[in-house]
Amino acid sequence: MSIFVIVFGALVAAFAVACILLPNDAIDYGTAGIAIIISKLTGMNLSQTVFFVFLPFLFLGFFALGKEFLIKAIFGSGAYMLGLELFERIPFELNTEHFIAVVFGGAILGAGLSLILRAGGCIDGSEILAAMIVSKLQQRSGRNMSMTGILIAFNACVYSAAFLLINRNSALLSLLVYIVATAVIDHFTDRFEAIKQVTIITKHPDPIIKWIKDDMKKTCTVMDSAGAVAGENKTLICYVTYFELQKFREKINDFPGGAFITVSTIDEIITNRTRAAAHSGKNAHNGAKGHKKR
């Protein structure tokens, strides 16, 4: 079912780009935007250019996000490229002003991308790159980070290239596409680029904790809890990116004892690692002194 949703969403996005945005001098954002700029400058076939630009990110996604993600990304990007090839040959004219057409096209593009993201897929390499960078930074620093800044910086480079290499009107209209499309995506996916808090209530925490540590390369907070009906259990709290969240959705049926999972969006996480380390060191020092006295 998820593959069907991804394919349908990719075709919707391809229709918006080929039939509405490109005829009105606007481009897509992310790696698709890079492919459109290259196609305009070189005269290369658009769908083939999208394939060559996105291909390296598919391999990155496989190593960073796993085989399930790769399969969904292949179906999504394949449907998107076929859709571009098909819709470019279909005569379609939207008799309205550029501004209205671009807003309308951006909304349709956002709707298509929302379907893809909700089904756990992806047709844009910038999101894969951002997820990888965030994951690496988390592993090194121990801090949970949002993908927002990375995606904004990436697309700022795309629109700067459009401004310099194509024309300023195209860049400004494309920026409008980005604003409208991301607003639609945020509405339907609850800000996919933000940090997600996963709360798991279970009576069998050990295999879940092991999976989070070994497969997700994450840590989690473990708390004692109790339900009015279920009685004593454990509550696990883990922070992940939107794409890592898909792994929890795929794994939930394998969790023993019918684990109950909730997901919420986190705007900010504030930590004081220096003070925590100092406090830990102080406790260890006091413990050593106490041991010496005994």
Is residue 277 scored above 50 in pLDDT?
no
Quote the pTM value: 0.76
Q: In what order do the strands lie in the sheet with 195-202?
A: 221-227, 231-240, 195-202, 260-266
- pLDDT tens profile 176-205: 888 898 889 888 877 777 788 899 888 888
Q: What is the pLDDT of residue 287?
A: 41
Q: What is the pLDDT of residue 108?
A: 92
What is the band of 271 on the pLDDT scale with cuts at 50, 70, 90?
low
Is residue 228 scored above 80 in pLDDT?
no
Q: What is the pLDDT of residue 290?
A: 43
- What value does the CA radius of gyration of the chain take, rounded to a whole number of Å? 23
- CA distance to 150, 167, 239, 272, per residue, from 161 (Å): 17, 9, 35, 39
Spatial separation of the C-alpha atoms in residues 225 and 233, rounded to whole Å? 5
Q: What is the pLDDT of residue 111?
A: 92
Cβ(235)–Cβ(199) below 8 Å? yes
Do the strands 195-202 and 260-266 form a parallel or antiparallel pair, or are they unpaired?
A: antiparallel
Q: Which domains does the chain have, with CATH numbers?
A: 2-189 (no CATH), 195-266 (3.30.70.120)
Q: What is the pLDDT of residue 143?
A: 67
Q: What is the pLDDT of residue 1?
A: 66
Report how far apart the first and last C-alpha atoms of the chain are (Å, whole number).
66
Q: Calculate what percentage of the chain has a pLDDT beyond 90.
A: 9
Q: What is the pLDDT of residue 274?
A: 52
- pLDDT tens profile 92-146: 777 777 788 889 999 999 999 888 888 877 777 787 787 778 777 776 766 666 6
What is the band of 64 on the pLDDT scale with cuts at 50, 70, 90?
low
- pLDDT tens profile 9-57: 999 999 999 998 888 888 888 888 899 999 888 888 888 898 888 888 8
Higher pLDDT, 246 or 23: 23
